[in-house]
Amino acid sequence: MFVRRISVERVDVQGERHACPVKWIDNFAMRNFTNDAIFDDTLPAGDGLLEAGHRVPLDRLQAAMEDWFRRKGYLKPEERLAVKEQGPKEQGTEETKTEARGTTKP
């Protein structure tokens, strides 16, 4: 639905990354605890994945999600949240889908 695909991962104390469950992401998106209309342009898309519009700033999204996840007890005090916009290859564009099939476009 939205143009941007954003990965949302919990980073544990060892530095290992784990996709945040869609339940956590949906809880943030549905609750809209910030009362900030800027986060209206977000949509949970799966474990560790959020779709967003261009007007959603990643730094504010990361801070708001981390705050909410801590309030809910999803993140331990020593853990952090990594929020990153996925590049075209990670998003599965038509070009990369074609490359994966081993065919090329004319």
Dist. CA 58–CA 64, nearest whole Å: 10
Query: Is 85 inside a domain boundary?
Result: yes
pLDDT at 33: 57
Query: Is 106 inside a domain boundary?
Result: no
pLDDT at 105: 44
- Structural domain count, the chain: 1
The answer to whether the beta carbons of residues 59 and 84 sit under 8 Å apart is no
Distances from the Cα of 102 to the Cα of 42, 50, 93, 95, angstroms: 33, 29, 14, 11
Query: Is 41 inside a domain boundary?
Result: yes
pLDDT at 32: 59
Domain enclosing residue 49, as ranges: 4-101
Query: Is 38 inside a domain boundary?
Result: yes
Per-residue confidence in pLDDT tens, the chain, 106 aa: 578 999 999 999 999 999 999 999 998 887 655 567 778 888 899 999 999 989 899 999 999 999 999 999 999 999 999 999 997 655 544 443 334 444 444 4
